[in-house]
Amino acid sequence: MNFSHDIRFRKETLQKLLHNIRVHESDIVEALYKDFRKPAFESMLTETSIVISDLKHTIKHLESWARPKKVRSSWLNFPSRDCIYSEPYGKVLVIAPWNYPFQLSFLPLIAAVAAGNSVVLKPSELTPATSALVSKIIRETFDVKHVVAVLGDATIAADLLRKKWDYIFFTGSTAVGKLVAKAAAEHLTPVTLELGGKNPCIIDKSAQLELAARRIVWGKFMNAGQTCIAPDYLLVHSQVRDKFIVLLKTEIERAYGDDPRASADFARIINSDHWKRLTAMIEPYKVLHGGLSVEEERYISPTLVEEHNVESALMQGEIFGPVLPVLAFENETQIRQILSGYGKPLALYVFTENREFEQRVLREYSFGGGCVNDTVVHFSNRRLPFGGVGQSGMGMYHGKFGFDTFSHKKAVLKKANWLDIALRYAPYGKKGKLLRRILGWF
């Protein structure tokens, strides 16, 4: 079977994948719970529903995406017809992370298959139940020469990176992303790197504070804070800081009760190493709320800490857990000073009713994507590109952006033979004057 050129085959295979995911949806939810007690609602909202929606959208639009696109010809090439062909790269490696192990395995895989590529998927070893199920669904859906999942630890990933690929798609930390980019450079392999960063969340004094607190608590503590686009720290205007902290506490209790440990809606930390890293971060701080932890359960409660030092250990790297530092600012100069100390983030959030302030923030700061008066939800719109910039990554995907990421755009000009203008051919003689005159008309 020619995987690269048969559009019908691509659609039929993706339809088979859609069917198999629906068949296994309850198994997927169960596997995510086994790996880190992810609530069923979050598993459906942030994992299975996003993949199913993307599959349906891709199947519906694949033929139009894959069709050659006519573009206007240049007068210099008259008469001609010019087209852009979407050509698959070939053999693609997808390395998926552990925090959304189902969604972030299948979204790039769907785009790569839709574009006509063959795929090797390396799921995360930190989520063994989900990764095993991902592998099972792939075996039930694809020919082994088309798509295959390779299970194993970081040494397996390193072995895969030493091979020659036509495209590499990696989701994970910035540190590992650099290693992937270095390995890809050995063969000049193009890459997409979906990384992370210190995602700021700015709360202006004009913001609707109660609503802002609810949306921030949801976006931050979903999946126990283990989300690459979660707010990493809060910058709250000093005039509303104390009031806002009270509102955050109220919303945490509204979401997870007086004892989040007993809540069925609060996930756990992925493993003991990450738990120890996070608890060590909390230890030196004045805890404003939460701060409780239980190692046997890999539990850390939703935690707010007071932060004054932008050079602290907590503020130097991506937190990736249910710990939220709260900083105060007096003016936009202070915001600028704080944000300039970090690389370009994967996400930025601003809560404000001040239109001018909103526009200044959006114009001045570079970031992968974000929201005004909400958090995280920009990820859910497949019509928006998702990706980082600078240290938070390169490249983009979701919907047609994913199809384009895994497609080489091949330019083709078809020249007619019924007319051949001699101007371009040597000997040139005095043709230069005529060329300048012609160029002046356009």
| 92 touches 112 (CB < 8 A) | yes
Q: SS3 of 317, please?
A: coil
For residues 224 and 265, give the distance between their C-alpha atoms in angstroms, rounded to a whole number.
Answer: 10
Distance CA 188, CA 424 (A): 35
Q: Which two tokens stand for residue 240?
A: 């509303």
CB 89 within 8 A of CB 4: no
Of the candidates 47, 228, 318, 371, the residue annotated as catalytic is 228
Given the residues 42, 47, 194, 318, the one annotated as active site: 194
Q: Are 134 and 81 in contact (CB under 8 A)?
A: no
Q: Which letter does DSSP use for residue 47 in this model?
A: I
Sheet containing 369-372: give its strands across: 287-289, 303-306, 323-329, 233-237, 200-203, 347-351, 369-372
192: its two tokens: 């997409």
Is-catalytic flag, 194? Answer: yes
Distance in angstroms (rounded) separating the CA atoms of residues 7 and 177: 32
How many Å is the maximal CA-CA distance in the chain?
88
Give dist(CA 107, CA 401) in Å, integer. 11
Query: Tokens standing for 5?
Result: 């050129």
CB atoms within 10 A of CB 49: 14
CA 102 to chain centre: 13
CA-wise closest residue to 339 among 201, 240, 227, 237 = 201
Dig out the tokens for 353 from the structure: 């009713």
Distance CA 229, CA 41 (A): 19
| Residue 371 falls in the annotated catalytic set | no
Active site residue ranges: 194, 228
